[in-house]
C-alpha cells in the first residue's frame, strides 16, 4: 500500500505524534512498557488481529465523529466481517442459508426513504449477520460449507419497501483467544456483542448508510464490547405462533417479525 503525501495526512500524523508523546509523559511510560507495547502490536499483526483490535477499541468513536450532524437513520460500525458481492436479490427475498440453518426465522421488513420522505425505489440493502451460534460465513463458517451464508444484497421495490427472510441472530463473543482477547481479559472487559444484524444501504444521490439493528432485551445491549449500540437502532422482534399466522407464512413452527424504516441522507447535503 503506497502512502501518498497530503496536507490532511501531515496534520493528522503530526497531531497523533504530539498526543502519543504527551501520553508517554503523562503516564511515565518506561522502556520495558514501551517494548511490551511494540511486541503486542507485532503479535497482533502476526495473528491477523489488527482489524479486530482496531474495530473493538476505536471504530465506534470514528463512527460517532463521522456521523455527527448527518440526517437520516443512525449509523453504526461496519465491523470486520463484511464481505462484498453477496448474492443479488429482489424483495421479497430469502437470504442464502444452509438446509438445516439453526435458530428461528425472522422476517425483517420496512421502507427506505430519503430525508425528504420520498421513497427510494430500488434502494440496495446489503445485509449480513452471524448465525444462531455467533458464526459468520467466510470467517468461522467455511465458505465451502455455506458460501454467503446469511448474506445478500436485496433491491427494494418501487415504493422503497422490502421484506427479507433471515434468521434471528444471537449475542456472541468476539474472538477471544488471541491478542485482542488478552487485552480484554487483562483490563476486566467482557468479549460479548449483543445480537444484531448488519446493513449497508445505498441509492444514487444519497449517502451510503452503514448500520446495525439490535435485538431489544439482549443481555448485552447496554455493555456491547464494541460500544456500537445506539438507542434508535434497538428494535423488538415479535414472536408469532398462532396456527393462522403459521399457515399464512407456510411454516410449521413459530417465527418472528421485525420492522424498521431506514432514511438516507442526501449526498447534496454532505457536499454543502
33-76 pLDDT, tens digit each: 999 999 999 999 999 999 999 999 999 999 999 999 889 999 99
Taking residues 20-39, report their average pLDDT.
97
Whole-number Å distance between alpha carbons of 228 and 230:
7
Q: Which residue reads 460517532 in cell numbers?
A: 64
Q: Which residue reads 426513504 in cell numbers?
A: 113
CB 191 within 8 A of CB 184: yes
Q: Does domain 88-271 have CATH number 2.60.130.10?
A: yes
Angle, helices 179-186/31-46, rounded to nearest 10 degrees: 140
- For the chain, the domains span 88-271
pTM of the model: 0.91
Tell which residue, 84, 75, 83, 78, has the closest CA to residue 55.
78
Band of residue 269 on the pLDDT scale cut at 50, 70, 90 = low
Amino acid at each position: 500500500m503506497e502512502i501518498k503525501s497530503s496536507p490532511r495526512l501531515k496534520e493528522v500524523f503530526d497531531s497523533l505524534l504530539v498526543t502519543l508523546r504527551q501520553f508517554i509523559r503523562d503516564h511515565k511510560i518506561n522502556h520495558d512498557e514501551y517494548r511490551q507495547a511494540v511486541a503486542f502490536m507485532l503479535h497482533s499483526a502476526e495473528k491477523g488481529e489488527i482489524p479486530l483490535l482496531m474495530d473493538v477499541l476505536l471504530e465506534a468513536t470514528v463512527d460517532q465523529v463521522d456521523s455527527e450532524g448527518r440526517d437520516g437513520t443512525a449509523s453504526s460500525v461496519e465491523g470486520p466481517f463484511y464481505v462484498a458481492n453477496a448474492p443479488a436479490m429482489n424483495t421479497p427475498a430469502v437470504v442464502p442459508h444452509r438446509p438445516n440453518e439453526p435458530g428461528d426465522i425472522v422476517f425483517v421488513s420496512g421502507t427506505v426513504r430519503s430525508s425528504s420522505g420520498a421513497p427510494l425505489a430500488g434502494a440496495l440493502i446489503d445485509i449480513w449477520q452471524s448465525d444462531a451460534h455467533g458464526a459468520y460465513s467466510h470467517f468461522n463458517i467455511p465458505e465451502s460449507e455455506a458460501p454467503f451464508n446469511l448474506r445478500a444484497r436485496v433491491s427494494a421495490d418501487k415504493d422503497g419497501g422490502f421484506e427479507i427472510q433471515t434468521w434471528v441472530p444471537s449475542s456472541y463473543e468476539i474472538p477471544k483467544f488471541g491478542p485482542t482477547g488478552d487485552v480484554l481479559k487483562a483490563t476486566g472487559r467482557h468479549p460479548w456483542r449483543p445480537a444484531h444484524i448488519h446493513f449497508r444501504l445505498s441509492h444514487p444521490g444519497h449517502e451510503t448508510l452503514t448500520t446495525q439493528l439490535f435485538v431489544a432485551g439482549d443481555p448485552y445491549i447496554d455493555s456491547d464490547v464494541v460500544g456500537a449500540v445506539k438507542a434508535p437502532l434497538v428494535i423488538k422482534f415479535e414472536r408469532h405462533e398462532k396456527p393462522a399466522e403459521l399457515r399464512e407464512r407456510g411454516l410449521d413452527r413459530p417465527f418472528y417479525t421485525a420492522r424498521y424504516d431506514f432514511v438516507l441522507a442526501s449526498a447534496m447535503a454532505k457536499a454543502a
